[in-house]
Structure 1
Amino acid sequence: MFRTALRNVLAHKARLLMTVLAVMLGVAFVSGTLVFTSTLSEATQASSQKGYDNVDVAIQPKSPDNGGGAPGAVPHLDQKLLDKAGRVPGAASVTGTVSGFTAIADKKGGLIGDGFPTRGGNYFPGADGKDARYPMRSGAAPKGAHEFALDAHTADTAGYKVGDTVRLSVDGPVREQKLTGVFTTDDGAVAAGGSLALFDTRTAQQLFATPGAFSEIDVKAAPGTSQSALKAAIDKVLPKDGAESTTGKQLADEQAKMIAASMDGMKTGLLVFAGIALFVGVFIIANTFTMLVAQRTKELALLRAVGASRRQVTRSVLIEAFVVGAVAAVTGLVAGIGIGAGMRALMSATGARFPDGPLVVSPSTVLISLLVGIVVTVLAAWLPGRRAAKIPPVAAMNSVHATATAKSLVVRNTIGALFAGAGAAGVLVATGMDDGKAVMVGGAVLLLIGVFILTPLLSRPLIALAAPVLRAFGISGALARQNAVRNPRRTAATASALMVGLTLITGMTVIAGSVQKGIDKMATDALKADYVVSMASPTPLSPDVAKKIAGLDGVTASSPLRNSPSRIGTDPQSLTGVNGADFGKLTRLDFVKGSLGDLRGDRTVVDDATAKEKGWQPGSRFPVTFEDGKKGTLTVSGVYRGNEMINGVILDTATLAPHQKQITDMKVMVKTKDGATDAAKDSLVKALGKNPAITVADKQDVSDGIAKMFNLMLNMLYGLLAMAVIVAVLGVINTLAMSVFERSQEIGMLRAIGLDRRGIKRMVRLESLVISLFGGVLGIGLGVFFGWAAGELISGSLPTYELILPWARIGVFLALAALVGVLAALWPARRAAKLNMLAAIKAE
């Protein structure tokens, strides 16, 4: 039986080719993902660990345990502690570091890196006058308040040289600094595409911390001193509550874990789409082996007649599947290694930078790829193999295998109806739950399986709807419709592969478009302001920006949004400071109770979620501990409906500012006399010094930013799901090619009675088109349903959510299904038209 199985594989090489390709694509996606993420993870970890070569023990500020005390910020480390650490036995050298956001403008004024980790730090020279972390490639280290050094990659990219004057910004105001040096670094963020600017220590402290303070102190051990011994010695000189020490190895290990965790998210996402491609491939594999078994009915029945047991027949089919799966897995693994290398090269070509490192093909990647390819193929072939074993020996006397019995069809339809009903019920129940994600996913899976099982039943009525259109093509159209419903199970398996892909694509498109509309509406409804000014990265603005804007001609109202940590009772609570006099002119809050009123003094407004949690009503008074530790009492004047843009406890900046240790703004809302015009926007940009770090956005910019984010996400999903569509195309080609082979005699007869080659081609193409559109209609219908259901869940946390059906894109998806049918039929149609009619009539 083993030799028989191998001969069958060799005898049907062409017919199994599409199955090999389908499995190979899925395996290639899996192995490519594993190779790419492993390569990227190991290279990033290696680069990160280099950054700790000069760190044996790091001293870091200890977050205060504010159990009812003042909610102050994390403390800084001072010069006194740095000097103590340098005198500890076993310490060879000590380095004080300060860092923060630094935006650097290119020669055209744009932001280098587009907000990607653009950082600034301090150059801390040792006894030899050099900082071992940053070797100078050219020039010298910065020494004055108006000097700085830049990493080599950023300098080369922007075309800066030593002696140039560069515009940059740390917290809003533009600074013009002289470039005194260009350095190289092993910093992982720089290797990944970020930029690093260095200032002398005093300047960096003024920019990123406070004079004389450090954010971290790094100590290098003397020869012969271990990291643990040095840490024990340093712990003796640390203040009890203000600082803590960590060995360099611990920091490197933690960094490696963080990098691995970030890679896991990417890996999981890519593997999900690889799984979808393999799932779609299952339909092709099962369809192929079902057709092969049907074509070999007499052969298998004769094997049974001469003594082969049912188990042996099933085993022979599974051996064929094993061989096919092994071939597909090996070729897929090789292709995946190429894909992994190609993905790294492609991302580098698009401007993304990654640390250099070898291509990593781990033993686990090889094992997983081989197991996935073989197991998926064998499992998909098991049901056809089981059917093959049930062929009775007497079937060898017949030329055609018996069709499915009425009982088997009733059982199949009953099971399908139960699955579909349970799945639909689960999805509908989940829409009314507060947290129904798990129930909805489970229901969606059941519904998808149920529809797949019911597809043969659905094929006849849905394909019958195409009959009026097909009649226009004469006899070819009539024959195409009959061929499409002749074997409902085969039609269903072929269409289901396309159905799965289009269900996901349509559902995600509906969800993304609806969420985008909801957020867009929220931004429009909540803001009266013409512009929102903020940093290009999520870092705070200098209060000088708000002062400058407030004094501009044409600005009728402005207000910063300023956050400050506080404590209400024993619970931490962030307070938001605004310009109470202008806040009502800049926002359109939906008040549930009370009103905005006169927002000054101890008066405050709170969002509905916080009010419900605390049990507050308009008029409620509550005690608060401010950032500086002083206590006060605030009065609730109104409760508003919070949203993603504005929420929390809001009060006047005049009340909040005296308690803040360092005043910074998250954004500034602006209303101008002439509204949102290009001239008004230009005047704001010019007044702020054409700052690369600051963005001036109107409502349309906010909307465009949201649209850009969702379009990027959708384009990535479309690209990944294209794999599933390609596999579905292979399935349609495979089914049609094997169907043409089965119907050789019939096609020969049609040619003999007058149907020309063009008519044969048209018949096969129309059959393919009908099957593809059938799968497309099912997929789009399910996708819209799942999109609606997911939206009902989302609307609970996004009140402005509005279901949007993207009719234009749905039309494109339907056209895509039709295109799949047309392209898939090209080769089978040509093959059918070239059949020799006399030879075909003689064929059995």
Structure 2
Amino acid sequence: MIRFTLAQLIAHRVRLALTVIAVILGVAFVTGSLVLNDTAQRLFDEQFRTASAGADLTVRTATAFDSGMGVEVERDPLPAHVVEQVAAIDGVDAAIAVAKGSVRLEDREVDLGAAQLTSWIPQPVGAFPLRDGTAPVEAGEVALDVASAGTLGLRIGDRLTLVADQRIEVRIVGLVGFGDAEGPPVGTAVIASLGTAQEALGLGAAVSELMITTDLAVNELQPVLGEVLGASYQVATAQDLATAGAEAAASNLEMLQIVLVAMSVAALLMGSFLIGNTFAIVVSQRTRELAMVRATGATGAQILRSVLGEALVVGMAASGIGTMVGIGGAIGLRALARGAGVTIPDGDLVVEPRTVLVAVCVGVIVTLAAAIGPARRAAAISPVAAMRQSAAEARLVSRARTTVGAALLTVGAVLAAMPSFGADMPMLAVGLGIALAGVILIAPVVIRPMVRAIGAPLSRMGVAVRLAQESAERAPRRTSATVMALALGLALMSFAAIVGASVKTATGEQYREVIQADVVVESAGQEMLGGVHAAVFDEVLGVDEVGAATRLKYGHWRDAGMMSALSAVDPDAIEEVAVIRMIDGEIADLATPGGVVIAQRVAEERDLGVGDELTMTFARTGEKALPVVGVVADTTARALQTDFLVSLDTYAQHFTEDMDASVFVVGAAGVSADRLAAALERELVDHPTVQVRDQAAVIAGRTQIIDQLFGLVTVLLAFALLIAVLGIANTLALSIVERTREIGLLRALGMSRAHVGAMVQSEAVFVAATAVVIGTVLGAAAAFAAVGALGTIAPLPLVVPLDQLAWLGAAVAFAGLLAAFAPARRAAALPALEAISHD
């Protein structure tokens, strides 16, 4: 049977070619996702390990946690006396003071973006070897990493301005690498003397951390330093810091990983339809051949193993190729992710053995699973009956399949709707998955009436269209598998379009409803955790056209093991620029020392009210119990972007960051928004890292991440839809082989080549049109459930972007028609006499 299986593969290699391509594309998605994740993690590991490779231990101010939401917390600086204290401890060879922090670079008032400023440390302790020029040891001297200098068009001798706590004019005197690389995987590195870095960051005589070298074993010196310094300081090994830093940086990729995994599943699911359809058609076309084999003594089990053996070979070969394609495709995925605003480091791709094993196994398993149904049908053929059986597919769908499908669809719909009434959010995904399984099962039942309904107005167009309609109705399982592959891709695209439009609309409505500021001053880089220097607020207040202004800050805190964000406002001024709707208490009560205002949904979920206490863990001050002084409406909380509000004074008690996220400004009496914006732009001309935005621009900034994320999803789905398009081409091509004699008879009865081609194209029309209807309905239904579930967190209107859905439907329909072009030409080119004699 092995030789028979291999012979069948060789004989039907052309028929299985598109199946191989489908598996290749599906496996490529999986491989690319794994490679991209492993590459980012490895490069982050190397970045942080290289940065601390020369030191044995590091001393920093202790915090309750190191990072939040992918951002490293800002620590209190180390007093100067700690440097002397550590240097005097036995076993410490060197205690090297380090000043580091974030700055922005300006070149003649042109903002060059953010950079990480670090004081110069010679090798082997320092991570930045000098590549060209001289080391930045004098005041006002800096060095840039080679990669960033090339990207920014800077060279030795150029002058820059460092913008942080102070504005410092500096000159580039050298270029540095990062370990063996030309620069860090992410970001720009600026190296300066210790004094210059301290001045720019406003540290005075203090430092950010100490790098310790020792000849002792690390585990011997670490507890000694901890005992001498006390609990206020953290003594960590270089390895621990590298691991923690890499994990914090990689956490920014979590959303991308979720998207890529979802796209991989979608691609494999689409591919499974094509695989199953191909094997079903091929088995049907080989009925006589398989019957002959059964008649010569082969058992049903042997036939089953033979067909699955073909699937195994196809799966293994395609998975191997798909793995290689996915490795190369990871480069394209990295570019797409960057376009969506996800930071991924540069560097060589990392291909782990586990990636190859998982990708190949997934491809083989999906191929085998999709071929099980056709293999079982082949094994069940009776030798005598099969000798008389035609290749046509059975018209009837079993009642059991219909019943199970309807039950799954009902149960799935109920489960998907439950989160809209307070159930856990994961129930939505479970319900949608079950409902999809039900739709797949009952699809053959609904395909025939749908094709008939679509064909009713088209039947007058001629015999070719009527024959195409009959062909689509004749094999409902085959047609439904082809339709569902295309419909699934469109459903996901429609889902993304509706949910994205709903979230964007809600974001804009909530912001306009709450924020009454004429203009907002924000960071040009749109950093949530700051980006607007504190001095900007003072300058804004000095502008004559300003009637009122207040600042907003953000911070992270640990909430029962999870990270949450909070907003800090001035309770005496926030109502001058925003409409604050309180459910209980007053916003002015935030002036209560240490008080917190929580969103209504938080109050309901945790059964909290005014007078209760909320336990919050801050990186700098640890666990604190803050009194709840008010409950704010969810719409207000969403506009301010967090569910927890504190006063600026409370913020200062727990955070060292002194950067604003936004400055809300209302014009003086009689001053228009345009005039106010122009005045502020003139006043803030020396702050090129901030922008003055009107409400429309602010809302666009808030929704930019939504556009980027759903744009990435749409692009990836477009690639996945190639599999569905291949499914149409493959099904039509194989059906032409199956219907060769029928086509020959039609030609003999007078049908022209053009009409034969039109018949095949018309069948593609029915498939594409049915897929558009089903895909749009499925996507809209899933989006309706998702919007309802998300609406329990914040008010979320259902917005259906009809124009976008129309374009998506048109694109999918056109792709389906394009897929039929080659099969139609092949059918039209069949010689009539040869086709009639085809067996």
What's the TM-score once normalised by structure 1's chain length? 0.87
| Aligned twin of 1:643 | 637
Q: Is the 8 A contact 1:111 1:692 kept in 2?
A: no
Within 1, Cα distance between the matches of 2:585 and 2:717?
50
3-state SS in 2 of match to 1:244: strand
Structure 2 CA distance, aligned partners of 1:262 and 1:814?
A: 33
CA separation of 1:675 and 1:603: change in aligned 2, threshold 3 A: farther
Cα distance in 2, alignment partners of residues 573 and 26 from structure 1: 38
Aligned to 1:63: 63
Q: Which moved more, 1:269-278 or 1:135-144?
A: 135-144
- 1:375-390 pair list within 5 angstroms: 375-390=365-380
Give the Å deviation of 1:498.
0.7
Alpha carbons of structure 1 residues 539 and 189: separation in structure 2 relative to 1, 3 Å: farther
Q: Say which is worse superposed, 422-431 or 6-15, in terms of deviation.
A: 422-431
User: Which residue does 1:320 correspond to in 2?
Assistant: 310
* Residues 459 and 491 in structure 1, CA contact (< 8 A), matched pair in contact too: yes
Q: Is residue 743 of structure 1 aligned with residue 735 of structure 2?
A: no
- 2:68 corresponds in structure 1 to none
CA distance in 1, matches of 2:238, 2:246: 12
Counterpart contact for 1:150–1:183, Cα < 8 Å: yes
Distance 1:270 1:699, change over 3 A: same
> Counterpart of 2:303 in structure 1: which amino acid?
V
Give me the identity figure in percent. Answer: 30
Query: Which residues of structure 1 form unaligned runs of 5+?
Result: 66-71
Q: Distance in 2 between matches of 1:601 and 1:586?
A: 21
Match of 2:408 among 419, 426, 435: 419
Mapping of 1:331-410 within 5 angstroms?
Answer: 331-340=321-330, 358-401=348-391, 404=394, 409-410=398-399
Q: Distance in 2 between matches of 1:203 and 1:787?
A: 54
After TM superposition, the structure 1 = structure 2 runs for residues 175-190 of structure 1, keeping only pairs within 5 Å, are 175-186=167-178
- Residue 815 of structure 1 corresponds to which residue in structure 2? 810
Query: CA shift at 1:349, angstroms?
Result: 11
Pairing of 1:19-418 with structure 2 (within 5 A) = 19-63=19-63, 75-107=76-108, 109-112=110-113, 115=114, 118-123=115-120, 133=128, 135=130, 137-141=132-136, 143-144=138-139, 148-171=142-165, 175-186=167-178, 191-208=184-201, 210-222=203-215, 225-236=216-227, 238-258=228-248, 266-267=256-257, 269-340=259-330, 358-401=348-391, 404=394, 409-418=398-407
Q: CA deviation at 1:448?
A: 0.8
Higher alpha-carbon deviation: 385-394 or 426-435: 426-435
The alpha carbon displacement at 1:739 in A equals 0.7
Does structure 1 conserve the Cα–Cα contact (< 8 Å) formed by 2:667 and 2:673? no
For the structure 1 residues 358 and 661, does the alpha-carbon distance in structure 2 shift closer, same or farther, using more than 3 Å as the test? closer
The alpha carbon displacement at 1:786 in A equals 0.6
Structure 1 CA distance for aligned equivalents of residues 10 and 303 of structure 2: 17
Question: Cα gap change, 1:46/1:121 in structure 2, threshold over 3 Å: closer, same or farther?
Answer: closer
Find the counterpart in structure 2 of residue 3 from structure 1: 3
**Pick aligned residue for 1:833 from 828, 835, 838:** 828
Q: Contact (CA 8 Å) 1:140, 1:181: kept in 2 or not?
A: yes
Deviations 1:672-708 (A, max 9, x none): 2466644432321221234232232221112211343
Q: Which whole-Å CA distance do the structure 1 matches of 2:355 and 2:653 have between them?
A: 59
> CA–CA distance in 2 between the matches of 1:233 and 1:155?
42
Question: What amino acid maps onto 1:411 in structure 2?
Answer: A
Measured after TM superposition, the shift of residue 49 of structure 1 is 1.9
Q: Is the 8 A contact 1:38 1:360 kept in 2?
A: yes
Deviations, residues 780-804 of structure 1 (Å, cap 9, x unaligned): 10100110110011112222x2111
Q: What does residue 544 of structure 2 align with?
A: 553
What's 2:484 paired with? 496
Specify whether residues 790 and 264 from structure 1 end up closer, same or farther in structure 2 by C-alpha distance, changes over 3 A only.
Answer: closer
For residues 151 and 357 of structure 1, what CA distance do their matches in structure 2 show?
A: 15
Amino acid at match of 1:378: L
Instruction: Give the letter for the 2:666 counterpart.
Output: K
| Aligned residue-pair number | 815
Q: Secondary structure at the match of 1:552?
A: coil
Q: CA deviation at 1:840?
A: 1.0
Q: What is the CA deviation profile of residues 186-239 of structure 1, one whole-angstrom value per residue up to 9, with x for unaligned ones?
A: 2799522412334443443354364222221101224xx333334345345x32
Q: In 1, distance between residues paired with 2:344 and 2:644? A: 42
Structure 2 spans left out of the alignment, 5+ residues: 66-72, 559-563
Q: Between 102-111 and 594-603, report the one with greater CA deviation.
A: 594-603
- Cα distance change, pair 301–548 in 1 and its aligned pair in 2 (3 A): same
Shift of 1:446: 1.2
1:380 Cα deviation from its structure 2 partner: 1.1
Task: Give the 3 Å change call, closer, same or farther, for CA 137–640 of structure 1 in structure 2.
Answer: same
Seen in structure 2, the aligned counterparts of structure 1 residues 635 and 388 have a Cα distance that, compared at 3 Å, is closer
CA positional deviation for 1:616:
4.7
Give the secondary-structure state (helix, strand or coil) at the position aligned to 2:639: coil
What is the one-letter code of the residue matched to 1:479? L
SS at match of 1:723: helix
Contact residue 51 and residue 126 of structure 2 kept, 8 A: no
Q: C-alpha distance in 2, partners of 1:142/1:838?
A: 90
Determine the C-alpha separation between the residues in 1 that align with 2:707 and 2:615. Answer: 43
Q: Which amino acid aligns with 1:15?
A: R
Q: Distance in 2 between matches of 1:189 and 1:242?
A: 37
Identify the range of structure 1 (90-99 vs 482-491) with the bigger mean alpha-carbon deviation.
90-99
- 1:459 deviation in Å? 0.9
Per the TM alignment, residue 151 of structure 1 is displaced from its structure 2 partner at its CA by 3.3
TM-score, normalised relative to structure 2: 0.88
Q: Is the partner of 1:14 in helix, strand or coil?
A: coil
Residues 618-629 of structure 1: pairs in structure 2 closer than 5 A: none
Alignment of 1:676-695 (within 5 A): 677-695=673-691
Report whether the alignment pairs 1:589 with 2:580: yes
The structural deviation recorded for 1:270 is 2.2
Hey, what's the Cα distance between the residues in 2 that align with 1:51 and 1:209? 23
Q: Tell me the C-alpha RMSD between the 2 structures.
A: 3.9
Partner of 1:824: 819
Mean CA deviation greater in 543-552 or 160-169: 160-169
Query: 2-side partners of 1:774 and 1:340: how far apart?
Result: 34
Other-structure match for 1:69: none
Deviations 1:506-563 (A, max 9, x none): 1111111101111111111110101222333323644432221111011111112357
Is the contact between residue 55 and residue 238 of structure 2 (CA under 8 Å) also seen in structure 1? yes
Q: 1:650 offset after TM fit, Å? A: 6.4
Alignment CA distance shift 1:590-1:60 (3 Å): same
Change (3 A) 1:382 1:246: same
Residue deviations 1:370-427 (CA, integer Å, cap 9, x gap) = 2222222122111111111111122244151575385x52222111111111111212
* Cα deviation, residue 14, structure 1: 1.0
SS for the counterpart of 1:576 is: strand
**Correspondent of 2:775 among 761, 764, 779:** 779
Code of the residue aligned with 2:24 in structure 1: it is M
CA distance in 2, matches of 1:583, 1:352: 33
SS of alignment partner, residue 691 of structure 2 = strand
For each residue in 1:629-686, what CA deviation from the matched residue of structure 2 results, as whole angstroms up to 9, or x when unmatched? 9x99999688555413336776876999899988654432101246664443232122
Query: Whole-Å Cα distance in 2 between the matches of residues 714 and 350 of structure 1?
Result: 9
Larger Cα-atom Rg: 1
Verify: 1:713 aligned to 2:703, yes or no: no
Verify the 8 A CA contact 1:736 1:825 in the aligned structure 2. yes
* Kept after mapping to 2: 8 A contact 1:150/1:179: no
Compared with structure 1, are the counterparts of its residues 675 and 300 closer, same or farther at alpha carbon in structure 2 (3 Å cutoff)? farther
The whole-number CA distance in structure 2 between the counterparts of 1:314 and 1:659 is 68
